[in-house]
């Protein structure tokens, strides 16, 4: 039996980077490498780079870099084009071009289809704490309305995805506990003529209305909204002063705004203190 003498063909060497057809200016001295394409540009603060020692731009495609340069050098503003605006934001963030970042951010915020998941992903990637705070809060409070797709979960990353899912679960469980274990009316106002009827009316209203608001499967009402409803709504058989007293007790306890605490705690793991939104 003859031995197999077949040889493995040698691996072809990687192709050498090529100059970009439009954005390689010979007279400039700042060279970037994006993918396998070289750009020689009149931007940036690093000099002395060359084709042999370019500045690498990671996690950015040539198409994304081209879109940024179309804006930065040719002043082409792709309003209404979310993909192009996202490219400009990503590259401008990497290169720390504040004006381009601001333009892309404002244009993206005006798009009708700029959803919370996209805002959260981009906010985390480009250090926009206002986006992270707003989008994370909206997603955490809408567990039944907005589920994340698998690609969205991958883009978000394990840490933020886990923080969001844990916050959602804690908020849902807190709402259920409130719905089924209503706050007791421990004392009554002097004007209350029938303590028993007042307490019974409070329990009945809580179970029939407040509980349903909190655990509605499609559109649960936020805790702060429930508090506002309790303040403004007259309850059958419940003395007004007793109701006001209970509302104040609930407000002081923080039980109906606990969801805000959950969200703030989760955000503290995602946003460094130096990037937290200003009050």
Please give the domain boundaries of the chain with CATH numbers for all domains: 14-113 (3.30.710.10), 115-279 (no CATH)
What gap in Å lies between CA 43 and CA 239, rounded to an integer?
71
Q: Can you give the pLDDT at residue 278?
A: 44
List the one residue out of 136, 101, 99 whose CA is nearest residue 120. 136
Alpha helices in the chain (DSSP H): 62-74, 82-95, 98-109, 116-125, 129-140, 150-156, 158-180, 195-205, 211-215, 223-232, 240-253, 258-268
pTM of the model: 0.78
User: CB 158: neighbour CB atoms within 10 A?
Assistant: 9
Asked if 242 and 192 touch (Cβ cutoff 8 Å), the reply is yes
Q: Per-residue confidence of the chain (279 residues) as pLDDT tens digits?
A: 555 666 666 666 677 889 999 999 998 889 999 999 999 998 866 665 788 889 999 999 999 999 999 999 999 999 899 999 999 999 999 999 999 999 999 999 999 999 999 999 999 999 999 999 999 998 998 866 677 888 888 989 999 999 999 999 998 888 888 888 878 888 899 999 999 999 999 998 888 888 888 877 567 677 888 888 888 888 888 999 999 999 898 888 888 888 889 999 999 988 865 555 544
């Amino acid at each position: 039996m003859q031995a197999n003498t077949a040889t493995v063909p040698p691996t072809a060497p990687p192709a050498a980077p090529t100059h970009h057809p439009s954005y390689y200016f010979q007279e400039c001295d700042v060279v970037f490498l994006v993918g396998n394409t070289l750009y020689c540009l009149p931007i940036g603060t690093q000099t002395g780079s060359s084709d042999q020692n370019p500045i690498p731009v990671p996690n950015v495609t040539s198409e994304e870099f081209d879109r940024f340069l179309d804006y930065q050098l040719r002043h082409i503003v792709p309003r209404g084009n979310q993909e192009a605006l996202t490219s400009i934001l990503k590259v401008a963030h990497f290169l720390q071009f504040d004006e381009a970042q601001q333009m892309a951010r404002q244009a993206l915020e005006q798009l009708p289809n700029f959803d919370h998941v996209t805002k959260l992903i981009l906010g985390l990637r480009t250090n926009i704490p206002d986006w992270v705070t707003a989008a994370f809060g909206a997603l955490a409070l809408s567990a039944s309305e907005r589920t994340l797709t698998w690609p969205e979960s991958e883009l978000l990353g394990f840490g933020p995805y886990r923080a969001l899912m844990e916050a959602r679960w804690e908020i849902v469980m807190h709402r259920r506990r409130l719905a089924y274990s209503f706050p007791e009316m421990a004392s009554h106002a002097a004007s209350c003529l029938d303590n028993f009827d007042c307490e019974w009316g409070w329990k009945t209203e809580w179970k029939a209305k407040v509980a349903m608001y909190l655990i509605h499967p499609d559109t649960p009402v936020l805790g702060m909204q429930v508090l506002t409803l309790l303040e403004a709504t007259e309850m059958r058989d419940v003395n007004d002063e007793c109701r006001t007293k209970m509302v104040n007790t609930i407000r002081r306890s923080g039980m109906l705004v606990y969801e805000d605490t959950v969200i703030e705690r989760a955000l503290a793991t995602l946003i460094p203190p130096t990037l937290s939104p200003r009050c």
